Amino acid sequence: DDNTCRKIKLNMVQETRVTELGHFIPNLLNENSINIINYSVLDDSHKFLIAVYKNNRVNKINLKSFSGNRRILKNAYNKNQDLLDLITLKEDSKLKLTTEKTSVEVDTKKLRETNSRAATGVYVTRKGEAKQVEVI
């Protein structure tokens, strides 16, 4: 994992079925060895990137910190922690974080927004290791 996000203009993507995107995106990026964690179609209405780590930390990142014309955005999240998922949000929402021992609801309104993509985030629970996160 190289700790980066990639930006592709939508007009570069040929029309295809959604089920083929996992195979198509590495070819479009000319990189077959990358591990795709998540992908999003973004516009100006998207405000946040939520980085969820396996150690139960959650970081709310302002998407403006990704602005610029670069295709490869280095240091997209904290590389010293194991990333579970990246979620893009248009507005504050509630997340359900499931660990091996418990399930907790996290309101993103209560998370401090940061421009630092390398921030560690805040603990939302200390019980077990995060296994799954979903927007509710």
Domain boundaries, the chain: 4-135
CA dihedral for 19, 36, 49, 111, sign (positive or negative):
positive
Question: Which numeric CATH code is attached to 4-135?
Answer: 2.120.10.90
Statement: residue 21 has pLDDT above 80: no
How would you class 6 by CB atoms within 10 Å of its CB: exposed for 0-12, middle for 13-18, buried for 19 or more? middle
pLDDT tens figures, 45-79: 888 888 899 999 999 988 887 777 766 777 777 87
Averaged over 119-129, what is the pLDDT?
A: 85
Each residue's pLDDT tens digit, 5-18 = 777 777 776 666 66
State residue 6's pLDDT score. 76
